[in-house]
Structure 1
Amino acid sequence: MLNISLVNRVLIWLVVAVGLFFALPNAFYGRVETHNDAVKAIEATGSTPELEAAAGVWPDWMPGTLVNLGLDLRGGASLLAEVQVEEVYASRMDALWPEVRDVLRAERAAIGGIRRIQQGPADELRVRIENPAEMGRVLTAIRALARPVQSLTGVGTTDIEVDASGAILTINLSEAERQIIADLTLQQALEIIRRRVDAAGTREPSIQRQGSDRVLVQVPGLGSAQELKELIGTTAKLTFHSVVSVTDDPNASPGPGNILHPSAEQAGEYFVLERLPVISGEDLTDSQPEFDQNGRPAVGFRFNPGGARIFCGYTTENAGAPFAIVLDDEVISAPRINEPICGGAGIITGNFSVEESTNLSIQLRAGSLPAAMEFLQENTIGADLGKDSIDAGIMACMVAFAAVLIFMLLSYGTFGIFANIALIVNVGMIFGLLSVFGATLTLPGIAGIVLTIGMAVDANVLVFERIREELKSAKGPSRAIELGYEKALSAIIDANITTFITAVILFALGSGPVKGFSVTLMIGIATSVFTAIYVTRVMVVIWFEARRPKTIEV
């Protein structure tokens, strides 16, 4: 006999209600968007009558999450940029030269004069030795400067390779170190671009790495690609300040000669800092995640010679005191100076996880773009074109939706009505989940929704055809419905699992439009299975209990 407990029925309808509740704001997209923008502005700059009025167009107790519209639907700007990683290699060699020079000067009595050769590749350090007979001593001294590569793929290798030919000493970065530098440079570029774009208040930008040295930036709602180029080209400001005090009052008076900055780590925490920085990020040459003497995650950093002298003097005088690392007018970290930091290198310790230490090292390096960027492709999509895309996508969905509803009604009668109701619920739940997850809907994503509509109907068709077969074998209506759902379940699960696996692969390996399609497809598969197996069954059971028909027509 058909039997679904009251608890299960309540849970099923509760899930449907929650999904539709979070989908509801998308039916009032403009009002909710105005409300959200006003709330953000109030939090950032304070309340005004105009902002309060704008925030009041949508109730605060209602969800304010919306499906983000992608570049092809909203319009905006897109850039494909290539990061000139070779410049970073050259900078690394320039930063290494003072260390090499100091080591060779200590051996000057034996090797004679030294001179750096400027000709040759920029990512190669070449030094001429006056007495080549002592080249073996030189190689030993320079190889002592090599440090182990801090990566799993570079275990057992060092960061530099040293070679000699006659009187010429040649130093190159090892392949493993080049790979690390390239990865960190791309991460740094992504971080600073994201900070620049987020600071402009744009909605849901897409900033992705493409290949080994390219970055794809898509910003919906931005006026032109030139505006985006100017936005990305802005240089961030990284400074190190003395900490005067810490407060939770955002309106606290910092006092003369001081400045108030919020903490990026702890919401509601503010630092009173000396206005003049101890040292700026322009003197920082490197920052990498590493581990302290106790094996805990930490962040190592290195200054150029001028910065090293300043920092050594400051940390000697202020041992035991905290100092603040400020990026874009936010305190990203405020470690305590445990001991004087001389020699140009130091380490920041704290209660870091490995991920946090990696992110902090990237932020330290993200004071400015790490290298020049060559823009390979620029696109500006106007709002009218985005509106045309939305209209075309909506029309496609409506035509597909109407055709499916008519087909199900004509083919299965009353049971077709149940399937159509479940189909409407399914689409609503898709938008609800897209809103909750903060996913971005693109034109290929709309195609994924259209495909999901067909797959949802397919599951209902399998169930209804199974019920027809059971009715032909002279079973009663109740038993036929029960067996129909039981025997169709395995086919529904198998078909949707294989499609879901394909969608996961598309999401993992694809980019841009492919990801948009796969996201909506994965969400649609989950909701279509739920509505086909549970929602339609609950409706059929409620109808059957109310009517108690002797025979049924499917």
Structure 2
Amino acid sequence: MLNKYPMWKNLMVIVILAIGAFYALPNLFGEDNAVQVVGTRGTTVTETTQRQVNDLLASKGIQVKRSELENSQLLVRVNSGEEQLLAKEAIAQALGDGYSVALNLAPAVPKWLEDVGGSPMKLGLDLRGGVHFLMEVDMSEAIRKMEEAKIADFRSQLREERIRYSGVKVTPKGIEIHFRDADSVAQAEAFLKTRANNEMVFADASEGENFKLLATMSEPYLKQIKEDALTQNITTIRNRVNELGVAEPVVQRQGAERIIVELPGVQDTARAKEILGATASIEFHMVDQKTDLQNAKAGRLPATSEVYKRREGGEVVLNKDVMLTGDHITGAQPSFDQYSRPQVSINLDAKGGNIFSNVTKDNIGKPMATLFIEYKDSGQRNPDGTVKMSKVEEVISVATIQARLGRNFVITGLTHSESQNLALLLRAGALIAPVSIVEERTIGPSLGAENIQNGLQAMIWGMAVVLLFMMVYYRAFGFIANLALSFNLIMVVGVMSMIPGAVLTLPGIAGMVLTVGMAVDGNVLIYERIREELRAGRSIQQAIHEGYANAFSTIADANITTFITALILFAVGTGAIKGFAVTLMIGILTSMFTAIVGTRAVVNALWGGKRLKKLSI
């Protein structure tokens, strides 16, 4: 029988539309004003902290809608923006410097809907508001660190080959290796060239009785160092932002030395800076047990050692040679030893495991220190206009090497909160070079709300005109097309809500407005073909069948070419262009389903298989 769907096909249409509507549902509940509390510098948010905050707000007359403690982060929901500001001020004053208190917006989705995976669309920076940073990587520091690593390599390689040298140091021209005679210079140059892998260029720079070998980095190697520094910093910043609980961040490169970071929903610029201020590196050094601390503080210490402050107070003398840097760490988890003492379990990559094994085999029973290095904005600028960074170094733990260490080992001597914090930093990785914020912008929620309002108005007016035209021009069939258009928008929202990485931006709203116009194209082609078939003398049932069957190829061709264009935009575009492309691609797929399959199901249910003398089209 013509124009009759089997039961399974009708059920399929109903189920797909129901799933789209279900996942679009969370977007109706809006967001709650909330205050987020996170521990800093080893402090952990516990149930005791939660009770303290709840009691504090109750004493201030601020009603708490919901208080949630998850992953050592406390989220307190309140009723209004005014109460949110009062709550933040009160909590920050009561908890002190050990905690970071920030304004936030939390989805007001009911718990039962969250439990089955329902969540609202993620909004981009231009819609939700938030903070934007342009960060610059200090490439000179990346090169300096690599030079220090090369110095350590040269020393160990020359010792292995038993080539005597009198000193190694970094100069503005490069790395100078000093020797006692010309034969040693020639021998060292020939040997080190075999180990250089085209990374270093060696030249005899001897001057009279001053025998020395000058090692400089090759141009390809310098270029590779800068590229690696930028790539690793992007990965590290992204990991740290994710670890610290910022939803849907944007971290991407700009040019050769800069990184764009956008944190939607974060209105507290100080909080955002603190998140990115965790841009520190980790180094492991041996403790210098031969040098007396008091003599060292008085300035009497070897050139190979240096005095560092300890986080918990006091000072310690460390060897300058770096045993290992944090960029070799692939995993870090807080745990407890057999005596229930906190520790951090560390996993290294293959290269780091080999390095650590060779270094620690001769230092069993000796203390090893973990040095935390942080770079902060000094508030001053360099002559070239870049931000001048100040370097802060502190020892966060000193532990005894119990056995030869390889790719897996533990750091002990920490409190529980310190082990949690250290594991987070190590997991997220260490920056290969410090970064500075050269530009920052805060987009307020009111501007985001205005963008949403303008976008919605454009969509509503555009949709209203389309609905009116379809109803007047195609009558009953126009009503079916309007029904399909409504479900198409619901499905776009539902699919956007289902995809974890999808973010709705202002250009994304433009894509939805464009989808409104494109969604009825298919129905217009189908309906005009039905009219042609009726004018040609076909029966109503045959005209409906031919209209849907023959218009399909035209609709598919038009939509496939548009989809390919959107796919190319997504592949080569960034930021706003990607948002537009994603929305457009989803809109094309859903509009083809609703325009062809959805309307056909309704038409078949209303008119399929019936003897009709007239069709309202």
Whether TM exceeds 0.5 here: the answer is yes
Aligned counterparts of 1:26 and 1:394: Cα–Cα separation in 2: 14
Aligned counterparts of 2:136 and 2:74: Cα–Cα separation in 1: 42
Deviation at 1:432, TM superposition (A): 0.5
- Look up the match of 2:293: none
Aligned counterparts of 2:354 and 2:487: Cα–Cα separation in 1: 54
Closer, same or farther: CA 289–536 of 1 in aligned 2, 3 Å: farther
Deviation at 1:529, TM superposition (A): 1.0
- Look up the match of 1:345: none
SS in structure 2 of the partner of residue 59 of structure 1: helix
Aligned counterparts of 1:174 and 1:38: Cα–Cα separation in 2: 61
- Look up the match of 1:74: 128
Aligned counterparts of 1:59 and 1:107: Cα–Cα separation in 2: 69
1:20 matched to 2:21: yes
**Which of 477, 482, 488 is residue 426 of structure 1 equivalent to?**
488
Closer, same or farther: CA 94–444 of 1 in aligned 2, 3 Å: same
1:84 matched to 2:148: no
- Look up the match of 2:391: none
- Look up the match of 2:444: 382
Aligned counterparts of 1:462 and 1:496: Cα–Cα separation in 2: 13
Structure 1 contact 239–279 (Cα < 8 Å) conserved: no
- Look up the match of 1:272: 336
Q: Which runs of 5+ in 2 are unaligned?
A: 36-63, 79-106, 207-211, 285-329, 367-399
Aligned counterparts of 1:6 and 1:19: Cα–Cα separation in 2: 20
**Which of 270, 275, 279 is residue 231 of structure 1 equivalent to?**
275
SS in structure 2 of the partner of residue 496 of structure 1: helix
Closer, same or farther: CA 323–138 of 1 in aligned 2, 3 Å: closer
Aligned counterparts of 2:265 and 2:405: Cα–Cα separation in 1: 49
1:494 matched to 2:521: no
Aligned counterparts of 1:312 and 1:11: Cα–Cα separation in 2: 69
**Aligned amino acid, residue 395 of structure 1:** Q
**Which of 451, 460, 480 is residue 398 of structure 1 equivalent to?**
460
1:222 matched to 2:266: yes
What are the superposed Cα offsets for residues 210-244 of structure 1, whole Å, 9 maximum, x if unpaired?
3443221111122244442232112568699xxxx
Deviation at 1:531, TM superposition (A): 0.8
**Aligned amino acid, residue 28 of structure 2:** A
What are the superposed Cα offsets for residues 357-390 of structure 1, whole Å, 9 maximum, x if unpaired?
xxx9xx8585443312132321110111111111
Deviation at 1:427, TM superposition (A): 0.3
- Look up the match of 2:238: 194
SS in structure 2 of the partner of residue 468 of structure 1: helix
What are the superposed Cα offsets for residues 266-294 of structure 1, whole Å, 9 maximum, x if unpaired?
9xx9831375769999xxxxx7567xxxx
**Aligned amino acid, residue 76 of structure 1:** G
- Look up the match of 1:435: 497
Aligned counterparts of 2:534 and 2:468: Cα–Cα separation in 1: 24
Structure 2 contact 361–405 (Cα < 8 Å) conserved: no
What are the superposed Cα offsets for residues 434-466 of structure 1, whole Å, 9 maximum, x if unpaired?
111031111111001111111111111111111
Aligned counterparts of 1:197 and 1:203: Cα–Cα separation in 2: 9
**Which of 45, 59, 68 is residue 112 of structure 2 equivalent to?**
59
SS in structure 1 of the partner of residue 440 of structure 2: strand
Structure 1 contact 81–375 (Cα < 8 Å) conserved: yes
What are the superposed Cα offsets for residues 8-66 of structure 1, whole Å, 9 maximum, x if unpaired?
111111111111111111111237999xx999934436999999xx9995435654311
Closer, same or farther: CA 488–288 of 1 in aligned 2, 3 Å: same
Deviation at 1:128, TM superposition (A): 4.2
Across the aligned residues of Structure 1 and Structure 2, the Cα RMSD in angstroms comes to 4.1
Aligned counterparts of 2:4 and 2:464: Cα–Cα separation in 1: 32
- Look up the match of 2:171: 119
SS in structure 2 of the partner of residue 91 of structure 1: helix
Aligned counterparts of 1:389 and 1:320: Cα–Cα separation in 2: 54
**Aligned amino acid, residue 249 of structure 2:** P
- For 1:174-193, what aligned pairs fall within 5 Å after superposition? 174=218, 177-178=221-222, 181-193=225-237
1:44 matched to 2:71: yes
- For 1:95-174, what aligned pairs fall within 5 Å after superposition? 95-104=149-158, 114-116=166-168, 118-120=170-172, 124-132=174-182, 135-146=185-196, 158=197, 160-167=199-206, 168-174=212-218
Aligned counterparts of 1:365 and 1:322: Cα–Cα separation in 2: 14
1:512 matched to 2:539: no
SS in structure 1 of the partner of residue 511 of structure 2: helix
Structure 1 contact 197–232 (Cα < 8 Å) conserved: yes
- For 1:206-221, what aligned pairs fall within 5 Å after superposition? 206-221=250-265
Which protein has the bigger strand share?
2
**Aligned amino acid, residue 162 of structure 1:** V
1:323 matched to 2:409: yes
Aligned counterparts of 2:275 and 2:360: Cα–Cα separation in 1: 29
- For 1:404-423, what aligned pairs fall within 5 Å after superposition? 404-423=466-485
What are the superposed Cα offsets for residues 179-229 of structure 1, whole Å, 9 maximum, x if unpaired?
554454334323432344345443322222334432211111222444422
Structure 1 contact 279–311 (Cα < 8 Å) conserved: no
Structure 1 contact 279–310 (Cα < 8 Å) conserved: no
Closer, same or farther: CA 550–24 of 1 in aligned 2, 3 Å: same
Aligned counterparts of 1:376 and 1:237: Cα–Cα separation in 2: 20
Q: Which runs of 5+ in 1 are unaligned?
A: 147-157, 241-263, 282-286, 291-298, 334-359
Aligned counterparts of 1:95 and 1:46: Cα–Cα separation in 2: 38
TM-score (norm 1): 0.73
Question: Identity of paired residues, percent?
Answer: 36
TM-score (norm 2): 0.66
Aligned counterparts of 1:265 and 1:288: Cα–Cα separation in 2: 9
Deviation at 1:173, TM superposition (A): 4.1
Aligned counterparts of 1:300 and 1:104: Cα–Cα separation in 2: 22
Structure 1 contact 75–220 (Cα < 8 Å) conserved: yes
Report how many aligned residue pairs link the two structures. Answer: 469
Aligned counterparts of 2:214 and 2:168: Cα–Cα separation in 1: 10
